[in-house]
Structure 1
């Protein structure tokens, strides 16, 4: 059975790139445009194996989403990979404190993304 990955990014082109890369490697992909929508998709799909999220998004950013997921005992807690243009060490540290499992800076190499997701989902 394919591992289910939730992509949370307000940029449609990034969601499409990540979706294409992961689908090609045998993953099932669900998309969300904001942290708030990401949480709704997680509630509706409790079998999500990992989340890939941007940081800078309207409504609810990636760090706020990570904090909200990890602070809600009723939600599953899949590993969360941050995929963003932000490379500042303070933002990386903030995401890790919030509970993010890993970090990839855009633009990403498809092989790197696949390797990171396989590691997170133990596939």
Structure 2
């Protein structure tokens, strides 16, 4: 079973996203801050990570740099979750290692569709890069 961590300071966002994405094929973990997420990743790295673009305790690029520094068999695919389609922060996050982005607010259909499309695209890119 794949594991996805949702990192957002809003308990409501984490709870709603967890209800939407949780399935027999995907177990959802939660972290309310960048520091808590990094601690979890050091203990057991998830397959995917949905990262709020505005964490209270650290900047997105700082988080991505710290995540890359964790020794793991495989780094997770990271998806930045932003409130608006602001290309500047999204592109900086992608250059720092994020695989894609998701938008808030979301409903069941928009989140599942966007998440599944982003995962498929990132997995294809990862496979092609390894070949």
Output the TM-score relative to the length of structure 1: 0.84
Q: Which moved more, 1:19-28 or 1:50-59?
A: 19-28
CA contact 1:3–1:121 (8 Å) conserved in 2: no
What is the CA–CA distance in structure 1 between the aligned matches of 2:43 and 2:117, rounded to whole Å?
A: 24
CA contact 1:66–1:99 (8 Å) conserved in 2: yes
User: Over alpha carbons, which structure has the higher Rg?
Assistant: 2
Question: 1:87: how far off?
Answer: 2.1
User: 1:80 — aligned with what?
Assistant: 78
What is the CA–CA distance in structure 2 between the aligned matches of 1:25 and 1:18, rounded to whole Å?
A: 15
Q: Which moved more, 1:112-121 or 1:22-31?
A: 112-121
Give the aligned CA root-mean-square deviation in angstroms.
Answer: 2.0
Question: 1:117: how far off?
Answer: 6.0
Alignment gaps of 5+ in structure 2: 125-131
User: 2:116 — aligned with what?
Assistant: 115
Structure in which a larger fraction of residues adopt helix: 2
What is the CA–CA distance in structure 2 between the aligned matches of 1:115 and 1:25, rounded to whole Å?
A: 15
Q: 1:86 to 1:95 in 2, by over 3 A?
A: farther
Q: Which moved more, 1:82-91 or 1:36-45?
A: 82-91
User: 2:40 — aligned with what?
Assistant: 41
Alignment gaps of 5+ in structure 1: none
Output the TM-score relative to the length of structure 2: 0.79
CA contact 2:5–2:49 (8 Å) conserved in 1: yes
Question: 1:34: how far off?
Answer: 1.1
What CA deviation, in whole Å up to 9, does each residue of 1:80-111 have, x standing for no partner? 01112142111111111111000111112133
